[in-house]
Amino acid sequence: MSSLNSNSGVSKRKSVNNFGKKGWAVVLFTLLLYMFSGAVPDTINVTVTAFAEKFSWDSNAMLSYTGIGGFIGIPVALIFGLIIKKTNVKAPTVVLTAIFAVLWFLNGRVTTIAAYGIITILITAVSNTVNLVSTQQIMSNWFPRKKGIALGWATMGMPLAGVILVPLFQVMFGSGISAPFTLMAILTLVLAAIALTWFKSYPEEAGAYPDNEAISEEDQKKNMEAMASYKSPFTIKKLFATKQFWFIIIIFGLLFFTLVGTVSQIVPRLIATGMSSNQAVVMMSVTSALGIPASYLWGFIDQKCGTKKSLIYFCIVWIVAMAMSAIGVAIGNIPLSVISSILAASGLGGLGNLMPSMEIQVFGRYDFSAANSLIIPIVVGMRSFSLIAISSILSAAGANVTGGFRNVFILFTIIAIIVTVFAMAMDDKTIGKLD
């Protein structure tokens, strides 16, 4: 395969943000995938309460369905990851987003706890797969060297879900509980149509080049042949024997465990701290808005300082965020809880950036799909324990909701400290095939 710095029609990159028109379009497309898939855990902040009040359901039991959905997402992510590994990312993404649209539509029309449980389990499984499989493979294919900064832009979609969709759901519930779900179904169906008619799995297919390098028709053909014929040596057996593989799983599985638990409970935690329901929703939107530039900031730090250093910095910030969350709710300190929520919102884009960036750093563009197809299902499994753990801890606390949330974030703080130690010890040397 031709080098990224080949003289055969390849121009020098002028800027880390110079993705070209086609590259920017892919970044925007991926941002929307992040936003719509991230809406599932984010909107839990208001949907659980809305359904519980309308049908008199147990909100803690409802949270557990999302956790179960995460476990169902393990085989779903594994299957689609293997399909992407064998074919390309386009067709599976079209299928996933189409299914996602149908599930959004059905989600707003459930009237029994059993139906709610089934749809919640399915939509959680699909959203996890879109959020962690489709998006990461797209960014690996298109931006193997500008991965940090490209992901910094694309992962803005995750905090945008909190900024736009959570308050939108809250307002639209006034028109009926199905209204926001119908809107999400329409928007996601449009995204599926875009994926089908416009999106290309590889930049070479679009007449572009990874990281927006110009490319001749001859090199386009060579690159596509190289990608199509490449057989990764990273089999399941070899991955299980690879130290970096397990470091990535432990670090990001535990970080996502705490992240999903945090962002899905921002509104209930702020209410437990002393805010009204409407104030808590507004504050979540504000904190999520502040998390948008943080997504780019983490991408910029990744691009400039390297993924390992960026990961360590992230872990340190995360320890502070989790500790502040525990203290804020324990003493009823609203300012402290708000600041911790801002840090949590900044973690959405940061973690969404750093995981695929670390995988690309270690395994490279060619071996990314082989590693990612196995890493993602395990990480999904680990993070799926989060809402089940929260539900159990809150149920154990009974009427003492404040004490329940305090215990949740004490646990999350301990986990963050453990993860930081692993991040410092990790070897991030590239072991996959290089261009």
User: Which H or E run includes 60?
Assistant: helix 59-86
Structure tokens belonging to residue 6: 């080949």
Kindly report, residue by residue over 172-225, the tens digit of the pLDDT: 998 999 999 999 999 999 999 999 999 999 888 888 878 877 666 777 677 777
Q: Does 214 reside within a domain?
A: yes
Task: Identify whether 14 is part of a domain.
Answer: no
The verdict on residue 8 lying in a domain is no
Q: What is the pTM of this model?
A: 0.82
Between CA 77 and CA 139 the distance in angstroms is: 17
The per-residue DSSP string of 368-408 comes to HHHHHHHHHHHHHHHHHHHHHHHHHHHHHHTT-HHHHHHHH
**Residue 206, pLDDT score:** 84
Q: How confident is the model at residue 7, as a pLDDT? A: 37
For residue 236, is it within any domain?
yes
CA distance readout (Å), 165 to 36, 183, 228, 284, 346: 9, 10, 39, 11, 17
Question: Taking Cα atoms as reference points, which of 326, 316, 320 lies closest to residue 393?
Answer: 326
Task: Report how many domains make up the chain.
Answer: 1
What CA–CA distance (Å, rounded) separates 128 from 279?
A: 29
pLDDT at 366: 85
Q: Name the strand (E) or helix (H) holding 232.
A: none
- pLDDT band per the 50, 70, 90 thresholds, residue 90: very high
Task: For residues 62 and 77, give the distance between their C-alpha atoms in angstroms, rounded to a whole number.
Answer: 23
Distance CA 143, CA 160 (A): 22
Query: Residue 10 falls within a domain, yes or no?
Result: no
**What is the SS3 assignment for 109?**
coil
Residue 145: its pLDDT value, please? 81
Q: Is there a domain that residue 132 lies in? A: yes
Q: 87 φ, ψ to 5°?
A: -115, -105
pLDDT (0 to 100) of residue 346: 82
Domain limits at 56? Answer: 20-425
Question: What average pLDDT does this structure show over 65-72?
Answer: 86
Give the CATH number of the domain where residue 141 resides. Answer: 1.20.1250.20
- Residue among 177, 198, 23 nearest 109 (CA): 177
Distance in angstroms (rounded) separating the CA atoms of residues 33 and 355: 16
Q: What is the pLDDT of residue 96?
A: 96
Domain for residue 124, yes or no?
A: yes
pLDDT at 13: 45
Residue 1 placed within a domain: no
90 and 201 Cβ atoms separated by less than 8 Å: yes
Question: Which pLDDT does position 10 carry in this prediction?
Answer: 39
